[in-house]
Structure 1
């Protein structure tokens, strides 16, 4: 009896906490089990609001219905969290509330973007300085693009011209001035035409053309040969011998089909050598064919062989002599072969001259080349710069083809760098050379008398150009 009563009393005491817990909830959670373990099996004095609230805010994927009920009971004792009231963030008054909301969101977003951008810029390293040459090229490119867009705008406005209105108002976007069509055409005749905007090919180098020819103008002063080397350097040869050699080289170029750039460079190398070293009569022809060999290697795609130049001289010189002379010339000139010749300037000036015509005039190009090649034979033209000779050849060629208008305009003056009055001496000397049909050296005249060159060697001007200058 005693043992059974004591065992019954112990069982009754061990079941008291479990009965108390089950009275509050039918399931013991992990949080409650932890608390019961810490308090040695006794229930807590205060409900576990904090633990139950976490369990209610972060439920599991699958829970029993009784567990949800207990979470709701516990959460009901926790005060609700207060939320901030959104205020009106718009400053504009609209009748439609939806417009207000959308504008408010846009304003708030833009402020956030600006705030983020400011923070980002504060962390970015300072920008590197821009190369002034690159900036200058970009400015030139932008100017050419502006001019091109202006021309396109002129074309569009002319197409959209009304039949009733006699004059269409044209507004230049870069200047902001309004002009009539007649005023634009009048100003266009007096303005400078952009000759580089039409050429999009990479070989034309339209973006760098102005800088390239500015460098050539400097180089023609730096690498200029002596203008009186026949008196100061040479002892055996004369001006007439030089003329005969160059006149014969014209026929050699025609025989082997060499380009005109090769011929101009050949003459430039001959004058460079004769300005620095004396040479005998017997070696003058050797100097000519060797300079043409060097120029062919520099300008031509398929240059003639050394044996070809030996053959053209009727085997007067051997292969060894030509190669030895080549070494001597290159060593004396320090391998400086990029010489600014008249042909290089003539190519640029012809573009400026052709810009005043509706279509390119092929006779103008042939005639200018003919006049420029005439100066290569005459020793007296060494005193003129190659750019000056090229500009004078353009002036006289335009005057020969048309005596009704002034051959010089603002575009030519801009791209050549010469005024019409500065060409007077050279143009008069060139016209005298053009009219001298009794000259003994006539290889250039025969060349340009052919039909493939439109026979420009036979053209002369009826009116003298002296009155114009």
Structure 2
């Protein structure tokens, strides 16, 4: 998303955060009305597996799944086409979020074991066609913030020395930050598997 590494630590962190929040408010709505909604978990997992294989950043992985969700929401797609769509979403997201040298290459994608098990061979022409269709669907706008774009900023301000635990100062700030980061990363990955629902109860 054209953001410098560790932007949340820089002087412009507040401005960048506000820009992300502004874009988040205007995100396309996800209705969960795809005829293939029951396959969503499988393809989200496929994106996560391939993303981990190439060690792509969390923002690329989350953007890819979000693009997949929106695209599935709008079209009735065959299962075979969904494989192409999912991988094209990941390629587009990685091109948007990663350095060029980290974007998966066609040859290495086709060499993955999961590709042969799916009896799927990607072609340059097929990928370009699908990427173009995706870009046209999203009106060439991939600036779509996800939870992964905010997590580091929130973690940077989530814990400070003045915080208390059971009314007492924290014994070890570093350990608290470590656990906070661990669980935030866990829930961030869990959120890829489906839309999390949070319920607030007031008494």
Same fold (TM over 0.5): yes
Deviations 1:20-55 (A, max 9, x none): xxxxxxxxxxxxxxxxxxxxxxxxxxxxxxxxxxxx
* Aligned counterparts of 2:31 and 2:179: Cα–Cα separation in 1: 32
Change (3 A) 1:365 1:247: same
RMSD: 2.7
* Aligned counterparts of 1:317 and 1:262: Cα–Cα separation in 2: 23
Aligned equivalent of 2:167 = none
The unaligned stretches of length 5 or more in structure 2 are 162-171
Residue 263 (structure 1) shift: 0.8
* Aligned counterparts of 1:227 and 1:328: Cα–Cα separation in 2: 20
Higher relative contact order (CA 8 A, sep 6+): 2
2:186 maps to which of 349, 360, 370: 370
1:322 maps to which of 108, 127, 143: 127
* Aligned counterparts of 1:212 and 1:338: Cα–Cα separation in 2: 13
Residue 371 (structure 1) shift: 0.9
TM-score between the two structures when normalised by the length of structure 1:
0.35
Indicate the SS of the match to 1:337.
coil
* Aligned counterparts of 2:128 and 2:157: Cα–Cα separation in 1: 41
Residue 300 (structure 1) shift: 1.9
Q: Is the aligned partner of 1:287 residue 2:85? A: yes
- In the TM superposition, 1:235-384 aligns within 5 A as 235=35, 237-239=36-38, 241-301=39-99, 302=101, 303-312=103-112, 313-314=115-116, 316-319=120-123, 320-356=125-161, 358-359=173-174, 361-378=177-194, 380-381=195-196
* Aligned counterparts of 1:257 and 1:208: Cα–Cα separation in 2: 27
Residue 280 (structure 1) shift: 1.9
* Aligned counterparts of 1:265 and 1:248: Cα–Cα separation in 2: 14
Residue 305 (structure 1) shift: 0.7
Deviations 1:148-179 (A, max 9, x none): xxxxxxxxxxxxxxxxxxxxxxxxxxxxxxxx
The unaligned stretches of length 5 or more in structure 1 are 1-200, 385-423, 427-465
Native 8 Å contact 2:92 2:131 kept in 1: yes
- Corresponding pairs, count: 181
Indicate the SS of the match to 1:282.
helix
Change (3 A) 1:282 1:247: same
TM-score between the two structures when normalised by the length of structure 2:
0.77
* Aligned counterparts of 1:332 and 1:425: Cα–Cα separation in 2: 33
* Aligned counterparts of 2:104 and 2:127: Cα–Cα separation in 1: 13
- In the TM superposition, 1:187-198 aligns within 5 A as none
